[in-house]
Amino acid sequence: MVTDPSDIRDTLGRNLTYGLLDRLGKQIVSGAFEGKTFPTEAELSLQHGVSRSVTREAVKMLTAKGLLTARPRQGTSIQSVSHWNLFDPDVLRWLLERKFSIDLLVQFSQLRQAIEPAAAALAAEAAGERELAQIDAGLARMAAAEAGDDDALEADIAFHIAVLRASGNPFFEQLRDVVTTALRTSIRVTNRIVGRTADLAAHAAVRDAIRGRDPAAAHAAMKHIISDVMVVISDNQPG
């Protein structure tokens, strides 16, 4: 059965370029082109029922994300994982949406362990009243979620992003999209395993240490939260 290109085009959504980018990105990350030659722009345009300009822009964006490379007279080919921009929110989302990998969850938690305690310690030194209020708001949302009045996942994410912002370090703050994207998977999985939402008291300890201007205590409290996540993941690895 031959698929009508217009049917494919309709599934790409209103933004054809991003729709094609998303579809091709997922296919590349999931290994759909493994052992195959990556299609030419003309072939992609025909397959997906979009213009060459849409295809060219999508391919250009995938190249910028490190998934593709284009060489004169060699065409476009898929890069090895080592070249992918793993801090790009789209790339990370595609990785998390493919077949679930506990190893990827472990690796992300290791990244969090390296970053978030340090951000909490900096927040204890640098946070102004606005940043402290955002942390308070995140914690309040978590308390509301426990009472069924807010979304537990979004509240937890809001708290952690508020701490990154409160660090005053622009490099940490720019990790917010990566942390948000990966936390959506991490929190869902760990909460499902332990059968409860995040530990409100543990998060309150982070907030209290930051408000108390105690960097060491803030670092330790945030490390405790992520260490608990690591234990849950490690205890539930297959084999």
How far apart are alpha carbons 100 and 86 in whole angstroms?
A: 16
Q: How many domains does the chain have?
A: 2
Choose between 153 and 13: higher pLDDT. Answer: 153
Say whether pLDDT at 163 is over 70: yes
Domain, as residue range, for 112: 100-235
Tell me: do 56 and 125 sit in the same domain: no
Q: 121 with 12, same domain? A: no
What pLDDT band is residue 165 in, cutting at 50, 70 and 90?
A: very high
| Final residue belonging to a domain, choices 83, 118, 151 | 83
Residues 50, 158: one domain? no
Give percent helix, percent strand, percent coil of the chain, each to the nearest 5. Answer: 70, 5, 25
% of the chain surpassing 70 pLDDT: 89
Whether 54 maps to a domain, the answer reads: yes
CA 104 to chain centre: 11
Q: What is the overall mean pLDDT for the chain?
A: 88
Distances (CA, A) of 200 to 48, 176, 180: 47, 21, 19
Q: Are residues 42 and 111 both part of a single domain?
A: no
Q: Are 31 and 133 in the same domain?
A: no
Tell me whether residue 91 is in a domain. Answer: no
d(CA 27, CA 36): 12
The beta strands (E) that lie in 48-174 are given as: 68-71, 75-78
Residue 40 belongs to domain with CATH number: 1.10.10.10
Looking at the structure, tell me whether residues 71 and 108 fall in a common domain.
no
What is the structure's pLDDT at 1? 43
Q: From 34, 54, 83, give the residue that closes a domain.
A: 83
- Give me the pLDDT at residue 28, please: 96
CA–CA dist 73, 40 (Å, integer): 12
pLDDT band at 4 (very low <50, low <70, confident <90, very high): low
Q: Look at the pTM and tell me if it is higher than 0.95.
A: no
The per-residue pLDDT for range 35-93, each reduced to its tens digit, is: 999 999 999 999 999 999 999 999 999 999 999 998 887 889 999 999 999 889 899 88
> Is residue 76 located within the same domain as residue 153?
no
Res 145: pLDDT: 93
User: What's the pLDDT tens digit per position in 12-40?
Assistant: 655 999 999 999 999 999 999 999 999 99
Residue 229, domain CATH:
1.20.120.530
